[in-house]
A and B are shown apart, each in its own frame.
Chain A
Amino acid sequence: MLKPSTPVNEEKYLKKNAWLSIIISALFSLELFDYSFSALKESHPGYFIAVAMAYIVLIFAMANLLYNIVISTWDIKEAWLGRFQDEYFNEVNLKAAYYALGVLGLFLGVVIWLDFLLPEAITAMSLQSFGKLSMGVGFLTYGSSILWELKTSDEDACE
């Protein structure tokens, strides 16, 4: 039987979803550069250990969050589609999606029309790495917008 949707579990879901987006964004950032792990292990062992540790921590955090979302969410399909009972959480989720789309559009606009402003690290990227960077930008904007909105509404609270 599905758990009932309440403002409390909807807020928890939104927060977990925001952190999940930020973690996914960090994973995409780690994947940005087309390095070979075996070559990295040989040339920069310290850096290789740091990257490997970051992967382990991020993947563990992502799996933990996903598990938490699956076991505690009232209805995964409804939540995934952003159909919240609480109007404010609905607005926060929609706003975050608009911001992510807006920032991604702006970023792609800069790449298309103002490419001379971009650092060489971006212009020299492979198509695959550029895709990862764009996904990272989108996920980071979505997750951080939700956390920011929830934080500012906490500051509004006055009993």
Chain B
Amino acid sequence: MNNELDNKIAKLRSGKKLSQQQLADAIGVSRKTISTVETGRFTPSVIIALKLAKFFEVPVEEIFELL
């Protein structure tokens, strides 16, 4: 199985009309964390994944999936 990760954060974020900074403030991380996770440069911990899932009110698997 491939270890590369795809995510739908940008899509979910634009659905809620939020900037990266607003999302970062909402879950207590830096804007750089959000931007690097969105582009796949940085793989977040389970804690951030769960915070994102809670914020968007969707299961984690709906945000992240293995390629």
Which residues of A line the B interface, CB within 8 A? 7-8, 10-11, 86-89, 91, 150, 152-154, 156-159
Contact = CB atoms under 8 A, between A and B. Distances in A.
B20 A88 contact: no
Interface of B: 10, 19-21, 24, 28-33, 35-39, 41-42, 44-45, 48
B28 to A, nearest CB: 8
Q: Is the interface of B mostly helix, strand, loop or mixed?
A: helix
Given A87-B44, A91-B42, A159-B20, A153 B35 contact: yes
Contacts, number: 56
A88 B36 contact: yes
Contact of A156 (B21, B35, B48): B35
Contacts of B20: 157-159
Given A88-B42, A153-B41, A7 B35 contact: no
A7 B36 contact: no
B30 A159 contact: no
A15 to B, nearest CB: 12
